[in-house]
Amino acid sequence: MASYLTISNVLWASQPVLGAAVAVSLWRKKLHQGFPYFMAYLVAQVAAVAVLFPVYNFASDHFYHRYWYALNWAASVVGLSLGFKVLHEIFMDVFRPYHAMKDLGTVLFRWGALVMLLVGVVVAASAKTDTLPVMEQAVVAVQRCVRLAQMGLVLFLLSLASHLGIRWRHRSFGWAVGFGFFATAELLIYAVLQNGRGYVSQGAATLANMMAYNLSVMIWFAYCWISSPATVSESGRLKTHRWDRSLGEIQNPEPAESLIPMFEDMVERALARSSPAVSQTSAPRAKPTSVAR
């Protein structure tokens, strides 16, 4: 038990240190200007651990039982909200050269956020358990949805990397890999914990989840200092440009040409053809000249 608490406290206390290192790296490399929500997410995570860690380890029992759950779930809600915004930020950075697809992605992300919220509420309302309050069940359900979205984003980038003009050294790709790694690990740990039939304890699952998060933060730190990515040749993105152009034509169709100028041109040409004949038939006859006087 003592060894578990020691390892857990070490892993937990290292999270704000690693997060602060990534935030400082973003600031020094001036990457926070292009990824403000990612910067806000890191700062929020550091602040959350800085508050929760001493409350969990050093606060009195009265203070712990009164404020721990409120602080924990408030931090979870803030982290989930910023995490979803980071997904949108990564998506916008990847599709920056493709304006029509970027606009469509913004609309899809807004509807995706609404769908995730509704799914969380429905799952929480239909859950047959008395261990957690309804609001906490909703937060857990929304958290699983966000983790699925993060994992899907990584698969999306892997499948379309060559078409979008990004490589594995691209920073947006690195942010997505970090989120996707942690999301996949958390979902797997949760599935094993729920269906492992007692082979995995809650303590072991918590330690594995902490190690996965620390590894994801290390991935972000490595991508802060990695060299600029090499861009894909223009020929490799021709198909994506065609998609973007076609989508732009659908979103902003050109106005149909009016038929009135065409009819006016036809009438003018018809009048131009008939004007010589009309002038010949309607011209007066010349008076004949008389020879005899």
Q: Give tens-digit pLDDT for 57-86.
A: 888 888 887 888 888 888 888 988 898 888
C-alpha to C-alpha distances, 25 to 19, 222, 223, nearest whole angstrom: 10, 10, 10
Using an 8 Å Cβ cutoff, are 214 and 15 in contact? yes
**Number of Cβ within a 10 Å radius of residue 246:** 11
- Does residue 290 lie within any of the structural domains? no
C-alpha to C-alpha distances, 235 to 186, 240, 247, nearest whole angstrom: 39, 10, 19
- Does residue 21 lie within any of the structural domains? yes
Q: Please state, in angstroms and rounded to a whole number, the distance separating the CA atoms of residues 218 and 203.
A: 23
Q: Which residues of 170-184 are buried (b: 16+ CB within 10 A; e: fewer)?
A: bbbbbbbbbbbbbbb
Q: What is the pLDDT of residue 47?
A: 94
Q: Give tens-digit pLDDT for 129-159.
A: 556 666 666 667 777 777 877 787 777 777 7
What percent of the chain shows pLDDT beyond 90? 18
Half-sphere exposure (Cβ direction) of 85: Cα atoms closer than 13 Å = 14
Tell whether the torsion through CA atoms of 247, 163, 85 and 153 is positive or negative. positive
- Does residue 151 lie within any of the structural domains? yes
- Does residue 272 lie within any of the structural domains? no
Q: Coil, helix or strand for 277? A: helix
Confidence band for 246, pLDDT divided at 50, 70 and 90: low
Using an 8 Å Cβ cutoff, are 248 and 100 in contact? yes
- Max mean pLDDT range (137-141, 173-177, 281-285): 173-177
- Does residue 159 lie within any of the structural domains? yes
pLDDT exceeds cutoff 80 at 230: no
Number of domains, the chain: 1
Give the residue with greater pLDDT, 111 vs 286.
111
- Does residue 74 lie within any of the structural domains? yes
Q: Give tens-digit pLDDT for 195-224.
A: 766 677 888 888 999 999 999 999 999 999
- Does residue 34 lie within any of the structural domains? yes
Confidence band for 39, pLDDT divided at 50, 70 and 90: very high
Q: Coil, helix or strand for 293? A: coil
- Does residue 129 lie within any of the structural domains? yes
Residue 131 belongs to what domain range? 2-250
Taking alpha carbons only, the member of 4, 7, 5, 18 closest to residue 182 is 18
Using an 8 Å Cβ cutoff, are 154 and 90 in contact? no
DSSP one-letter string for 180-249: HHHHHHHHHHHHHHHHSTTSS-HHHHHHHHHHHHHHHHHHHHHHHSSPPPPPPPGGGGHHHHHHHHHHHH
